[in-house]
Amino acid sequence: MNPIFNSNPTPLHAEAHKAWSIEPVQQYAFARDTNSVYLMAVEMVLASKEYPILFARQADGIVPIVLLGVESDNNQFVIEGGHWNANYIPAYVRRYPFIPAVVDGSSDTLTVCVDQDYAGLYQHGEAGLPLFEEDGTPASITAQAITLLQSYHGEHQNTVDFCEQLEQLCLLEEARLEVNRRGGEESENKQQALSGFLRINQERFLALDGGALEALRDSGGLERVYAHFQSLDNLKRLL
């Protein structure tokens, strides 16, 4: 996965940023150059209706992702005018330009940051909506962002647990996808390999014993496995 559009985050503070204002995101050109974004496990069922869902191995473990394009620097869901061409937009995208950060490595303490490079951020209140009220409390747009970030942060451990469960059951395998791309002025298609992702091996899943299936069901993982399988039909949208 590419580093994703949070280029210059700064922690928000009522006193330091009392004059700042922001315009709500109206278009998604900031996400145009990435072909995948993180997905929380709780989002998988909704996301599976429109996106292919795969998994990626990061330094701190396995994460679910939605595939947005077959080229590394192209999001096929961002269309002309910066509009997002899908009904469900992943929370990772919706939260922008607000970004969560943990304090001193503690997973219990959340700091809300904003991307200073966001074009709709104004440090002297020239336009947009205020980030803070006059008394220093979060204004409406900031309060909404805090609610979303807290929900997102709260789902992180559930997502980690789900991915660890898949690993413990040895269900994940490399997903090497062959994509047919039309080549230049020639009429024939060219094959392009899309690698670096993981998928659930369906044969291994179907061979699980009753105890493993029950554990997946009780943790909420079973419907997410099925959502992953269903989502792979959406690969044809990207071809």
pLDDT in tens, 118-174: 999 999 999 999 999 999 999 999 999 999 999 998 899 999 999 999 999 999 999
pLDDT in tens, 30-54: 999 999 999 999 999 999 999 999 9
Q: Classify 179 as helix, strand or coil.
A: strand
- pLDDT category at 103 given cuts 50, 70, 90 is low
Q: Is the pLDDT of residue 3 over 80?
A: no
Contact assessment for residue 99 and residue 114, using Cβ atoms and an 8 Å cutoff: yes
pLDDT in tens, 53-92: 999 999 889 999 999 998 888 999 999 999 999 999 999 9
Contact assessment for residue 239 and residue 190, using Cβ atoms and an 8 Å cutoff: no
- pLDDT category at 112 given cuts 50, 70, 90 is very high
Buried b (16+ CB within 10 A) or exposed e, 37-61: bbbbbbbbbebbebbbbbbbbeeee
Class of residue 119 by CB neighbours under 10 A (exposed 0-12, middle 13-18, buried 19+):
exposed
Supply the mean pLDDT for the chain. 90
Buried b (16+ CB within 10 A) or exposed e, 151-165: ebbeebeebeebbeb
Per domain, the residue ranges of the chain are 9-238
Average pLDDT over residues 166-186: 78
pTM of this structure = 0.89
Residue 83: other Cβ atoms inside 10 A: 13
Provide the pLDDT for residue 192: 65
Q: Is the pLDDT of residue 189 over 70?
A: no
Q: Is the peptide bond before 52 cis (omega within 30 degrees of 0)?
A: no
What are 130's strand-pairing partners?
A: 21
